[in-house]
């Protein structure tokens, strides 16, 4: 049984079928990429898995349990963490504080005990901070841990978001276009990092436009077009797939795979 099983997932907006009967799996220790042209339904698919959208039909099973239509915070607490296409951080909070939010689902201190500053919350607060610092160090951004995220360069903000997602110790990590807005060097570093994350035993599901990145890191690629899955396989298989070449990469211009 796979860690994540998506079965016949569909969601329409008005008359438009954004995601149409999509099925696939994601496994621990593997990087699965979802690719497809603009508007193919990739982000919608992510939102359906993460619970920020409810599917019209279909099923999402995670770690042996049905999580279809569960609220996002409950999905998160089961071990699915995500980053966003447009970075969503609290600009007025420091890098450390932002990453500490990632530990929210893994900690327990209540509202009242927090207000009373109860001693039993101190130990948990220390461990939240320690775990957050670990994630910050992993991403190599310790130097700005005490800085507010609002003023940081975009590439670092992306790293902060990734650190926040990792701080929650997810079993499945959803990355929504993690390379967008990054330069070539940053993208190479990101590829290395995503591999390292996979090798710690996390399942990585990534939506990405950067074909070179996808072909470089993915163990498996799922191709969407008009909300439908049109191909699935290793990067090599997908690159040879007629349907993919025709509708995604462009018939005459096979080299399209390397740019984007």
Partner 1 sequence: MKRFIPAISVLALAFMLPPLLTALKSAHYMTQLTMSAYYALASLGLCALMGYAGQINMGQAGFFAIGGYASAFISKLELSATAGSGPAKALDALGLLSKGLDSYGNSYLSPSPWLSCIAAVLLAVGVSALIGTPVLRLRGHYLAMATLAFGIVIEKVVRGTTALGGADGLSSVPAFAVLPGLEITGGRAARAANFTVSWVVLAAGLLLLANLVASRSGRALRALHDGEEAADAMGVDTARVKLKVFILGAAFAAVAGVLLTHYNGSIGPGEANFMKSVRYVAIVAVGGMANIAGTLIAALLLNFLSLRGVFGSLDDAVFGLILITVMLIGPSGRAAVSRLRAALSPKAAPSAAAPSPRSAAPSPRAAAPSPGAAAGVAARDAARKGGAS
- 97, 208, 220, 241: residue in contact with partner 1 (rule CB under 8 A): 97
Q: In 3-state terms, the chain is what percent helix, strand and coil (to 5)?
A: 45, 25, 35
Q: Does 143 bind partner 1 (CB under 8 A)?
A: no
Q: Does 39 bind partner 1 (CB under 8 A)?
A: yes
161 neighbors 87 (Cβ within 8 angstroms)? yes
Least Å distance, CB 256 to partner 1, is 5
- 10, 32, 44, 157: residue in contact with partner 1 (rule CB under 8 A): 44
> How many other C-beta atoms lie within 10 A of the C-beta of residue 227?
23
Least Å distance, CB 81 to partner 1, is 7
Q: Does 102 bind partner 1 (CB under 8 A)?
A: yes
Q: Which is nearer to partner 1, 26 or 96 (CB)?
A: 96
Would you say how long the chain is, in residues? 260
Q: Does 157 bind partner 1 (CB under 8 A)?
A: no
Q: Please count the CA atoms within 13 angstroms of the CA of 248 that sit on its side-chain side.
A: 31
Least Å distance, CB 69 to partner 1, is 14
Backbone angles phi, psi at 87, to 5 degrees: -50, 130
Q: Does 101 bind partner 1 (CB under 8 A)?
A: yes
DSSP helix/strand/coil, 177: coil
Q: Which residues contact residue 164 at a Cβ distance below 8 angstroms, ignoring those fewer than 6 apart? A: 89, 98, 99, 101, 102, 135
Stretch that binds partner 1, among 21-29, 68-76, 198-206, 213-221 (CB under 8 A): 68-76
Least Å distance, CB 197 to partner 1, is 17
Stretch that binds partner 1, among 25-33, 80-88, 133-141, 193-201 (CB under 8 A): 80-88
Residue 11 to residue 22: CA distance in whole angstroms? 10
Q: Which is nearer to partner 1, 41 or 144 (CB)?
A: 41
What DSSP string describes 39-83?
Answer: TSSHHHHHHHHHTSS--SEEEEEETTEE-TT--HHHHHHTTEEE-
Q: Which is nearer to partner 1, 1 or 38 (CB)?
A: 38
Q: Which is nearer to partner 1, 78 or 199 (CB)?
A: 78
Q: Does 37 bind partner 1 (CB under 8 A)?
A: yes
178 neighbors 163 (Cβ within 8 angstroms)? no
Stretch that binds partner 1, among 25-33, 59-67, 123-131, 232-240 (CB under 8 A): 123-131
How would you list the strands of the sheet with 80-82, edge to edge?
A: 80-82, 172-176, 203-207, 31-35, 220-225, 228-233
Cα diameter, the chain: 68
Interface residues with partner 1 (CB under 8 A)? 12-14, 16, 18, 37-41, 43-44, 50, 52, 71-73, 76-77, 81-82, 84, 88-93, 97-98, 100-102, 104-107, 109-111, 113-117, 121, 124-125, 128, 164, 168, 180, 209, 211, 226-227, 248-253, 256, 259-260
């Amino acid at each position: 049984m796979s860690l994540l099983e998506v079965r016949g997932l569909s969601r329409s907006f008005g008359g438009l079928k954004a995601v149409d009967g999509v099925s696939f799996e994601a496994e621990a220790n593997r990087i699965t990429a979802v690719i497809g042209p603009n508007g193919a339904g990739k982000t919608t698919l992510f939102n359906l898995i993460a619970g920020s959208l409810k599917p019209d039909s279909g099923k999402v099973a995670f770690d042996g349990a049905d999580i279809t239509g569960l609220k996002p915070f409950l999905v998160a607490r089961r071990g699915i963490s995500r980053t966003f296409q447009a970075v969503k951080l609290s600009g007025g909070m420091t890098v450390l504080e932002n990453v500490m939010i990632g530990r929210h689902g893994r900690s327990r201190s209540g509202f009242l005990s927090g207000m009373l500053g109860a001693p039993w919350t101190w130990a948990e607060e220390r461990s939240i901070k320690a775990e957050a610092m670990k994630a910050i160090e992993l991403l190599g951004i310790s130097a700005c841990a005490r800085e507010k995220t609002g003023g940081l360069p975009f590439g670092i903000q992306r790293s902060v978001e990734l650190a926040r997602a990792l701080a929650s110790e997810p079993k499945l990590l959803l990355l929504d276009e993690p390379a967008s807005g990054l330069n070539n060097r940053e993208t190479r570093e990101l590829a290395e990092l995503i591999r390292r994350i996979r090798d710690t035993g996390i399942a990585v599901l990534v939506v990405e436009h950067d074909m070179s990145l996808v072909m470089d890191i993915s163990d498996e690629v799922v191709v969407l077009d008009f909300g439908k899955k049109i191909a699935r396989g290793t990067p090599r298989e997908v690159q040879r797939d007629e349907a993919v070449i025709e509708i995604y990469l462009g018939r005459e211009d096979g080299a399209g795979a390397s740019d984007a």
